[in-house]
């Protein structure tokens, strides 16, 4: 068995995987462990990577495709970390619209690359608001294929991590945990708050130690899975915000994200995740929103001023990518002209993810 443990933390977009990874990494580091992180996305320019690095973590990323379809690249990054930083634990965040991770990541690693890392059980993080809407109340504003994907992600979990319990009463937490227990019998369930660090130690104890993944068989219809992926418009934007005078960057980010959110809401498009990261030589800020009826939340505000800021925006919305780009650019232009701002070196990647084509898909226990 390899010395390095690999902890995969999956779950739908906006569930709190990155926040959980940060919280878990801080806990493990406090326990004296060396920790490395691998992030993942279909495009480059990841807010998550910058956010984790700015938070003091050692992070590598696999961009341009998910772990399942780029397992060699994922293993290269694991190699890089094990050679250089020599972490005892690697925390990995797969793309939030991926499922079938046991067949496409766990089993291939166990079969072919067991000497590199030892896999810990699969955690799948879930947002209470999402599980309530998509599964308990059945009033999802996503297309049905996305609801299918969401359920499949939970079905293959070894541990379902109900996150954001700081937003719930204890009765609400109990009732959602009971629902999950009834629906996904035999799966371990834990309620946590990644932002407050609540129950992270308990979660770490569940996935550490001698426990291994049950490697559940997941019956996935790849046509529906592919439809779910392609329903979500994907946009990554980067550039340099230049203003004639010192800019209140927190207000600008808030106004821009709110304007974009309003446009999506008014046109009936649900947000899976919209996040922005800004940085200059003195400071950084990160804000995020995971539904049209949620407020913009700042993980960190910038305290310093400045007239130049690098900006990265990642958006995943249940909308055609062309429309996503139009609405987002409109929101940006409106707020920029209000404040006489230019964006230099603007680069936008906007696309509909293609059909998932995993390099390996192992369904037996060979
Ligand atoms: N209230 C609350 N918000 C959280 C918690 N964990 C994450 N969030 C917020 O949920 C949003 C998405 O989190 P993120 O970690 O980026 O999700 P990911 O897409 O699954 O990686 C961000 O605005 C986070 O601040 C939590 O424990 N409580
Ligand atoms: Mg993330």
pLDDT tens digits, one per residue of 34-65: 999 999 998 888 999 999 999 999 999 999 88
8 CA to centre of ligand 2 in angstroms: 12
Which of 121, 211, 210 is CA-nearest to residue 158?
Answer: 121
Q: What value does the mean pLDDT take over residues 244-251? A: 93
Pairing of strands 232-243, 308-318: antiparallel
13 CA to centre of ligand 2 in angstroms: 7
Long-range contacts of 212-215 (CB under 8 A, 24+ apart): 212/119, 212/120, 212/121, 213/102, 213/106, 213/119, 213/120, 213/121, 213/122, 213/158, 214/121, 214/158, 215/102, 215/106, 215/107, 215/110, 215/365
Give residue for tokens 């499922």: 99
Which of 122, 92, 93 is CA-nearest to residue 15?
Answer: 93
Please report the pLDDT score of residue 87 as a whole number.
96
CB 271 within 8 A of CB 289: yes
Q: What value does the mean pLDDT take over residues 64-92? A: 94
Q: What is the pTM assigned to this prediction? A: 0.96
Please report the atom of ligand 1 found closest to the CA of residue 299: 25
Q: Whose CA is nearest to atom 23 of ligand 1?
A: 288
- What is the band of 305 on the pLDDT scale with cuts at 50, 70, 90? confident
Contacts of 291 (CB under 8 A, 6+ apart): 14, 129, 130, 270, 271
Q: Which residues, chain by chain, have CB under 5 Å from ion ligand 2?
A: 17-18, 48
- What is the pLDDT of the chain when averaged over all its residues? 95
Please report the pLDDT score of residue 366 as a whole number.
44
pLDDT tens digits, one per residue of 167-224: 999 999 999 999 999 999 999 999 999 999 999 999 999 998 778 899 999 999 999 9
282 CA to centre of ligand 2 in angstroms: 24
- CA separation for the pair 211, 316 (Å, rounded): 34
Please report the atom of ligand 1 found closest to the CA of residue 196: 27
Residue % of the chain over a pLDDT of 90:
89
Q: If DSSP states are collapsed to H, E and C, what string results for 291-355?
A: CCCCCCEEEECCCCCCCEEEEEEEEEEECCHHHHHHHHHHHHHHHHHHHCEEEEEEEEEEECCCC
Please report the pLDDT score of residue 295 as a whole number.
96
Which of 203, 191, 232, 219 is CA-nearest to residue 9?
Answer: 203
CB 362 within 8 A of CB 107: yes
pLDDT tens digits, one per residue of 267-280: 999 999 999 999 99
Which of 102, 91, 304 is CA-nearest to residue 194?
Answer: 91
61 CA to centre of ligand 2 in angstroms: 12
pLDDT tens digits, one per residue of 138-164: 988 899 999 999 999 999 999 999 999
Nearest ligand to the C-alpha of residue 192? 1
Give residue for tokens 């609540």: 198
Q: What value does the mean pLDDT take over residues 282-309? A: 96
């Amino acid at each position: 068995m390899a010395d390095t443990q690999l902890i995969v933390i999956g779950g739908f977009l906006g569930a709190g995987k990155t926040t959980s990874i940060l919280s878990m990494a801080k806990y493990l580091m406090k326990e004296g462990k060396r920790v490395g992180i691998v992030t993942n996305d279909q495009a480059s320019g990841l807010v998550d990577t910058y956010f984790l690095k700015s938070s003091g973590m050692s992070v590598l990323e696999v961009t341009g495709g998910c772990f399942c379809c780029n397992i060699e690249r994922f293993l290269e990054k694991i190699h890089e970390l094990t050679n250089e930083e020599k972490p005892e634990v690697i925390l990995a965040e797969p793309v939030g619209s991926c499922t079938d991770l046991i067949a496409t990541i766990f089993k291939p690693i166990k079969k072919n690359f067991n000497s590199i890392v030892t896999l810990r059980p699969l955690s799948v993080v879930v947002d209470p608001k999402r599980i309530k809407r998509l599964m308990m109340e059945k009033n999802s504003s996503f297309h049905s294929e996305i609801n299918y994907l969401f359920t499949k992600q939970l079905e293959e979990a070894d541990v379902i991590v109900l996150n954001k319990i700081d937003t719930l009463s204890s009765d609400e937490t109990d009732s959602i945990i009971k629902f999950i227990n009834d629906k996904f019998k035999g799966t371990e369930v834990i309620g946590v708050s990644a932002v407050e660090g609540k129950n992270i130690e308990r979660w770490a104890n569940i996935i550490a130690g001698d426990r291994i993944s049950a490697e559940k068989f997941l019956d996935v219809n790849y046509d529906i899975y592919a439809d779910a992926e392609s329903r979500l418009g994907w946009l990554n934007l980067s550039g340099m915000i230049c203003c004639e005078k010192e800019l209140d960057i927190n207000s600008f980010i808030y106004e821009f994200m709110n304007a974009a959110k309003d446009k999506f809401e008014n046109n009936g498009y649900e947000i899976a995740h919209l996040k922005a990261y800004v940085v200059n030589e003195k400071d950084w800020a990160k804000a995020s929103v995971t539904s049209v009826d949620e407020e913009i939340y700042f993980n960190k505000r910038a305290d310093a001023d400045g007239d130049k800021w690098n900006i990265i925006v990642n958006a995943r919305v249940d909308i055609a990518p062309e429309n996503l780009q139009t609405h987002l650019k409109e929101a940006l232009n409106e707020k920029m002209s209000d404040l006489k701002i230019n964006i230099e070196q603007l680069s936008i990647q906007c696309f509909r993810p293609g059909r998932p084509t995993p390099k390996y898909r192992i369904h037996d226990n060979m």
